[in-house]
Structure 1
Amino acid sequence: MKQAICSFIYHKILGWKAEVSVPDFDKCIICAAPHTTNWDLFIGKLFISAIGRESGFMMKKEWFFFPLGILFRWMGGIPVHRDKRTSMVDQVIKQVNASEKFHLAITPEGTRSPNPNWKKGFYYIALGANIPIVLIGIDYEKKCITAGKYIIPSGDIDKDMREIKLYFKDFKGKHPHKFVLGDID
């Protein structure tokens, strides 16, 4: 029922398309980009539900105020306390290892503003938990979300991050000027 409702909203009402060629892994980190607007969360959640999959997401704790906090937690949101010096990577790896199924979407830019220095926590979580990173591109120009590639982290972060960034080079966020790949040479 949830899938049918989300599919109807995503495809029929909003007019978005979905292109999916990656397996439905039991456990994975989803690297979703470009992230240039708060609408990415809602479009992304509709997409993932419309294709019959589930995913949690991380968001700064400041967004978890009443009543939004209730909604975000219900949607799979995990508040991130960015001011504390705790190892979020280690905590998530433990959660991955203790779970039968685990899907967590993370935006590598870590912000909706232009950021050439992408966060690498998603990479280290996948590497430490030995799970794939599914690359999902959001394209507002084409009104299509594409899950077209996954990588298994090799441990060579420079090589792998270059491959990840190159995957996203042709996707257009809602505000394209807010998305930068940074150094990929």
Structure 2
Amino acid sequence: MMPAWLARLMLRINGMRVVDHNHGNWPKKCVVPTGPHTSNRDFPYGIYSRAVVGKYIQFVAKSTLFSGPMGAIMKWTGGVPVVREKRTNFTQAVAKIFAEREEFYLCIAMEGTRKKVDRFRTGFYWIAREANVPMIFAKFDFGNRVIEFSKPFYPTGNVREDFDFIYRHFDGVKGLAAENSFNYDPAVLEELPAGEGSTQFNTD
């Protein structure tokens, strides 16, 4: 992982800074939903920010992508191959990685694309639930020139309530390509299953 001092320097050169609301005191495992993801240039900022917080935040992809020179690059930058068994889906396969590791931080771009979207993909949420781990949101706020890591958020099973909170957390945040930034319309919640529970967000 890049030295923290070098990462801070690179961020400073680009007019950015990192705010970690956990002050380095993270749980040993969590999903790190990230947004808004609007440009390929988000990637180096992710490399810099993980070095600043001192957590080796990784990403996952299908195992078939980890062959040849590109596979070596993906592993070098933190990629983890996911091997799906016949009776498991992608969510279960990723949850298995969490179960097998003592420490694991998984970054997932919620939009699933760099284009403008009106809703997030939900895979990050189901992975956190299946693995029984919290989420720490990484907000790439280029409007305010800050990359901000939230305190842990624990999914409750009340999908609509949880996503209402998540959407509001990222609503209006300016991405690097500002025209592709996310704006929240509560009507999208109607497409999600309802459930019981209340939002659990650590505010200590």
Give the TM-score band, short-chain normalised. 0.7 to 0.9
1:73 aligned residue (72, 75, 87) = 75
- What SS is found at the alignment partner of 1:113? coil
8 Å CA contact 1:10–1:50 kept in 2: the answer is no
Tell me how large the CA RMSD over aligned residues is: 2.6
Cα distance change on mapping 1:62 and 1:36 into 2, 3 Å: farther
1:28 aligned residue (2, 25, 30) = 30
Which runs of no fewer than 5 residues in structure 2 stay unpaired? 188-204
Q: Which amino acid is the alignment partner of residue 5 of structure 1?
A: L
Paired residues, number: 182
Aligned ranges 1:41-120 → 2 under 5 Å: 41-58=43-60, 67-78=69-80, 87-120=89-122
8 Å CA contact 1:19–1:145 kept in 2: the answer is yes
Q: Which amino acid is the alignment partner of residue 99 of structure 1?
A: R
Q: Counterpart in 2 of 1:16? A: 16
TM-score (norm 2): 0.78
TM-score (norm 1): 0.86
Which runs of no fewer than 5 residues in structure 1 stay unpaired? none
Q: Which amino acid is the alignment partner of residue 75 of structure 2?
A: R
Establish whether residue 132 from structure 1 lines up as the match of residue 141 from structure 2: no
Q: Which amino acid is the alignment partner of residue 10 of structure 1?
A: L
Q: Which amino acid is the alignment partner of residue 5 of structure 2?
A: A
Sequence identity percentage:
29
Establish whether residue 168 from structure 1 lines up as the match of residue 170 from structure 2: yes
Structure 2: how far apart are the matches of 1:146 and 1:40?
14
2:123 aligned residue (100, 121, 135) = 121
The structure, 1 or 2, with the larger RCO (C-alpha pairs under 8 Å, 6+ apart) is 1
Larger Rg computed on CA atoms:
2
Q: Counterpart in 1 of 2:4? A: 3
